[in-house]
Structure 1
Amino acid sequence: MTEINPSQITFARVRRRLTKAQLAKELSVTGRSIQNYETGSSTPDAETLAKLAKLLNFPQQFFFIEESMPTIKEHAASFRSLSKITEAMKNCALSAGAIAFKINDWMEGRFTLPKANLPDLSDLSAENAAAALRRIWGLGNAPIPNMIHLLESKGIRVFSLAEEAREVDAFCTWHDSKPFIFLNTMKSAERSRFDAAHELGHLVRDVYSMQHGKLHGPEMERQADAFAAAFLMPEDSVVTNIPPAFTIAYLIKIKRYWGVSLVALAYRYHSLKTMTEWTYRNLCIEMARNGYRTSEPAPMERESSQLLSKVLDFLKSQKIGRAEIAKNLCVSIDEINTLTFKLTRLSVVPMSKIG
């Protein structure tokens, strides 16, 4: 039998957000034993390996794969809300990303997927970069019906973050010259769309930083937020369609047109200086009082992956299910399920129906 690859044990442990001490306790072994397993100084016996595989929810074959899982270098991924992400959360999300790379490789070996051709807009401001990308992609100033479909059509691979990394809003990275975006699908559909646009901003404006390991900081995140707002709500169209009164009721109608959160819409109007500071402050107070900072009013339907849905539907027609993909990749079917999307329908209302 092929020897155990110790790096696979480390990968699986990190994927489950367990420390060496925690894993040792669960397996009823010493911490030194786990250390030895992960350095290759010793290997678990058959009984311990079986317990390890069950606990970490990986098939035993996973630990015998000679080629170690892909790694994402430090600072090669851009994370939102940096202040609340622990190292364990980040590494858990990155390990999920590595499995997504393997899923993507598996699909590319069987299907012709869109190739990425993202422009480098790092020399432009966030606002100008968003406008330029809309021109390059021929989007005009209209709302974007489905962000995930748009990203996938431009060769960006979009996957879902697993529940273990639920504290992570979203992140993006490059692998083998392919851009990837990972979204937290436990957030509202509106916030997930904004996250997708935020990560797109990193991919087109922070190319050098991500490829050369430059540290990501708060200012880079603020710029990505500015890009997302401008990309989802282009200035010319937003300014042209200023409501007669900035009330919560009217803004709820407008937010459905753009497919953004109420908070993001109010902030966009404020940042474009179309409302006074006093009006914006009162709107913020009212939104907070109604719980609209955490619970979205009149929520829209969640977006899904068109690419993954088509691939999985075709495979199903060929009597190939997700279990077969999991078996090929030596991972659990849970990994496939959490990293892929279910098909849903998205409705965006025309501006003519607002009012």
Structure 2
Amino acid sequence: MFNPERLSIARKRRQLTKKSLAEKAGISQLTLTRIETGQTQDPEEETVAALARVLAYPASFFYLGDCEELPPEAVSFRSLSSLTAKQRDSALSAGAIAHLLDDWVTERFNLPQPNLLDLRHEDPEAAAIALRRHWGIGSKPIPHLVKLLEAKGVRVFSLAENTKNVDAFSCWRNGVPYVFLNTFKSAERSRFDAAHEIGHLVLHLHGGTSGREVEREADQFASAFLIPRDDFVAHVPMVRSLEQLLTHKSRWGVSVAALARTAFEAGVLSDWHYRELCKQISYRGYRTQEPLPMQREESVLWKKVFEELWKDRLTRDHVAAQLDVPSDEISSLVGGLLGSGSNLSSSRKEPFRLRAV
């Protein structure tokens, strides 16, 4: 049977309206609406072929079972102010494809089990300290956040949306936490986005809460999680200049703006001096072009998955074919976390091992 939900997902992934898709496929908008709403349960093969051609999806994709499309209320987006409906729907539909990929991989490998806490009754800074303690990392800097999250059972995916409007988002599904990162952002911003989403996952559990206060709490969690106050004060007891902050940037792997904010909140920077530093950061263009940029973090889990698959001569294209999705969807979900082809070799010090089921 034709699955209209899958047509809706593919259309949203391509950020097409019903009107534009109908025009490109050479059918009426009414015909498309009837197909996508399920009123036409068995569309003609020629029509499905035309839709598949425009969407660049295999026609077989539309004849499979339901996908778990994420409802907006179940997701925490990193930024909402500049997010269009098309961009939001495209990101949510990416989540549906990610669930298909995660289910496929989970059937074949023993992945790390989720190891987060329910910290809804804690304030953000206390929650960050509690999670660090739970994970046994104390106040030490986190050199590789993506690797840490994957080791703790968080499924991390990339978003190749080529826009700054979709920063990141997260959700829970069947007890498994998911984080989606926009690799269009700087490496420092991606780290903060990832920590921000962990804040949502442990503080809010996506219970329908949203708004500025919720986002502010997730920001506070991210700051405390990435830059523990005690560690910061021990290494930066007083801030004298922007250059001084730049020398400490690599320790915590955050933006210079985030360091300035932490210094102010830790009481080692006066209100006047903080405002002056913010002006300098803006004047030098550091809000859009991070100084002394760090190397983007790459996934350990996805590298290991594809290395194991390659032992059976299975590539991303084979995985896409197994899922009946375009290869570019697999690349969008993991490519931003794998780096260049030469980086597919794994580190010798992984926090976990993959075992085939």
What is the TM-score normalised by the length of structure 1? 0.92
What root-mean-square deviation, in Å, do the aligned CA atoms of Structure 1 and Structure 2 show?
1.5
2:278 aligned partner:
284
Answer yes or no: is 1:46 the counterpart of 2:45: yes
1:137 aligned partner:
135
Q: Deviations over 1:156-210 (max 9, x none)?
A: 0000013266521000001121000000111000000000000001111112xx1
Secondary structure at 2:73 match in 1: coil
1:168 to 137, 161, 166: 166
2:333 aligned partner:
339
1:18 aligned partner, one-letter code:
L
**What pairs up with 1:276-355 in 2 under 5 angstroms?**
276-340=270-334, 341-343=337-339
Moved more, 244-253 or 182-191: 244-253
Distance 1:249 1:215 in 2: 39
1:239 to 217, 233, 236: 233
Q: Deviations over 1:297-342 (max 9, x none)?
A: 0100000111011001111122011111101111011011110021
Secondary structure at 1:163 match in 2: coil
Distance 1:234 1:251 in 2: 16
Secondary structure at 2:68 match in 1: coil
Answer yes or no: is 1:254 the counterpart of 2:248: yes
**What pairs up with 1:48-127 in 2 under 5 angstroms?**
48-65=47-64, 67-127=65-125
Q: Deviations over 1:52-97 (max 9, x none)?
A: 11211211100111x1111222311101111111222111101101
Distance 1:289 1:128 in 2: 34
Distance 2:236 2:171 in 1: 36
Shift of 1:141: 1.1
In 2, are the aligned partners of 1:118 and 1:204 still within 8 Å (CA)? Answer: yes
In 2, are the aligned partners of 1:198 and 1:227 still within 8 Å (CA)? Answer: yes
1:266 to 254, 260, 264: 260
In 2, are the aligned partners of 1:92 and 1:164 still within 8 Å (CA)? Answer: no
Distance 2:115 2:30 in 1: 48
2:47 aligned partner, one-letter code:
T
In 2, are the aligned partners of 1:93 and 1:165 still within 8 Å (CA)? Answer: no
In 2, are the aligned partners of 1:49 and 1:60 still within 8 Å (CA)? Answer: yes
2:154 aligned partner, one-letter code:
I
**What pairs up with 1:17-36 in 2 under 5 angstroms?**
17-36=15-34
In 1, are the aligned partners of 2:13 and 2:89 still within 8 Å (CA)? Answer: yes
1:342 aligned partner, one-letter code:
L
Distance 2:37 2:69 in 1: 17
Shift of 1:47: 3.1
Distance 1:302 1:246 in 2: 29
Distance 2:118 2:55 in 1: 40
1:195 to 172, 193, 196: 193
2:155 aligned partner:
157
For structure 1, which runs of at least 5 residues remain unmatched after alignment?
346-355
2:102 aligned partner, one-letter code:
N
Shift of 1:244: 5.1
Shift of 1:245: 4.2
Distance 1:91 1:64 in 2: 21
1:204 aligned partner:
202
Secondary structure at 1:195 match in 2: helix
Secondary structure at 2:110 match in 1: coil
Distance 1:95 1:138 in 2: 35
1:262 aligned partner, one-letter code:
V
> Cα gap change, 1:135/1:251 in structure 2, threshold over 3 Å: closer, same or farther?
same
> Cα gap change, 1:226/1:322 in structure 2, threshold over 3 Å: closer, same or farther?
same
Shift of 1:9: 1.2
Distance 2:122 2:314 in 1: 46
2:48 aligned partner, one-letter code:
L
Q: Deviations over 1:28-57 (max 9, x none)?
A: 221101111112333543333222112112
In 2, are the aligned partners of 1:14 and 1:91 still within 8 Å (CA)? Answer: yes
Q: Deviations over 1:3-40 (max 9, x none)?
A: 32222211211121111111112122211011111123
Shift of 1:235: 0.6
In the alignment of these two chains, the number of paired residues is 338
Distance 1:117 1:239 in 2: 29
